Amino acid sequence: EKAAKADYAKLHAQFDSALLELETTRSKLREEREARARLQVELDGAFAQSHEHQQQRDEAEVSKLKEEMVRKDKEMLEAVSKEKERAEDAVRQLDAERERTEGMLGEAVTTA
């Protein structure tokens, strides 16, 4: 009977030891899961922040491109306006030349 009690006590101690080991393992796994969850939250936050910064950079780039486009449009309009003025001057000069030529032809016809 003493041997049976000793075996029972030994088994009980092994059982308690196994339970303690199981609880330790569960605790470690819980800590690891929580650490992973915290890491995922940090990663998600960093990604969101990175995405926000990229979006701000993209918006700034689009804004720069729009400004450049507006500047080039103004330059083009100025160039077209100057070309139009030159064309109008050329037309006025041609009209004046035509009038002189017609006047000279008219005089030549009247004198002849």
Write down the pTM of the prediction. Answer: 0.46
Q: For residues 100 and 106, what is the distance between their CA atoms, to the nearest angstrom?
A: 10
Per-residue pLDDT for 1 more than 90?
A: no
Query: Average pLDDT over the chain, rounded to whole?
Result: 91
pLDDT of residue 105: 79
37's tokens: 């969850």
pLDDT band with cut points at 50, 70 and 90 for residue 23: very high
51-105 pLDDT, tens per residue? 889 999 999 999 999 999 999 999 999 999 999 999 999 999 999 999 888 888 7
